[in-house]
Amino acid sequence: MELVSRNRCFEGEQAVYKHASDVCGVDMTFAVYLPPQARREPVPVLWYLSGLTCTHENAMTKGGFQKYASEQGIALVFPDTSPRGEGVADDEAYDLGIGAGFYLNATQQPWQPHFQMYDYVVKELRDLVLDKLPIMDRHGITGHSMGGHGALTIAMRNPSLFVSLSAFAPIMNPSQSDWGRKQFSAYLGEDESTWSQYDATILMSEAGWHGDILIDQGADDQFIDLLRPQAFAEAATKRRQPCVLRTHAGHDHSYFFVSSFAEDHVHWHAERLHDH
């Protein structure tokens, strides 16, 4: 790992690293916050997956998670949202291509060679931070919008790898939404049977989650019809899944919303990570 930057932050350390990714075939950049407790011993970690058009930097600078992670003694990992660089396929639309990896493994051209974000997060980056940083093998995962979709699907598909799960305004039913059908068709092809592994509502109906889930949603979210929270709520209810789905009056889809509830989510994860 090549150190890009390092800053003191709430008595801990906010760092950005770059590394060569075998999975994505390009150099990838990610951010890590290590709380002061990590100077003494390895600490649990909360993964934060960002949304469309974002990089590792958005939540790192706008989310306000570090203060609470420092208090609770947990690390934060902020991956990028897609591969980037020379030769990486892209599209003119903001919601496809670079910045819009959807945390899946693409099977179609021209996306397949680099857009392998599911394996990157679940396998390669996970192994890297466990090997190189004072982080213990005890993980929670959260995310915003497209990243919330990633958090829900990755956790439900890998229940043995994650202790705790939450999301901010996630895309909950992408196979039935314009934020999903367009991207899944491009990345995965027209066979919709291959899409279900990346749809949180379908995964909830089929498998559920071994613990409880916290989801926050803004009532004035301008994209709420694309997110389809009602579909996920219905699936969770049918499965009798322990799930706290909170809808907040006046809140939209922005990082003002995310930062308003960052403390709640860090505390939620810390309670479960430390008790595990």
Report, as residue numbers or ranges, the catalytic residues: 145, 221, 253
Residue 99 in contact with residue 54, Cβ under 8 Å? Answer: yes
Angle 97-65-265 from CA coordinates, rounded to 5°: 90
| Sequence-ordered list of residues with C-beta below 8 angstroms from that of 20, at least 6 positions apart, any chain | 26, 27, 28
**3-state class of 23 per DSSP?**
coil
Write out the two tokens for 263: 């403390």
The CA R_g of the chain, rounded to the nearest whole Å, is: 17
The DSSP element (H or E) to which 138 belongs, if any, is strand 135-143
Q: Which residues pair with 16 in a beta bridge?
A: 5, 31
Integer CA distances (angstroms), 215 to 64, 82, 89, 168, 276, in order: 18, 24, 32, 6, 21
Residue 150 in contact with residue 164, Cβ under 8 Å? Answer: no
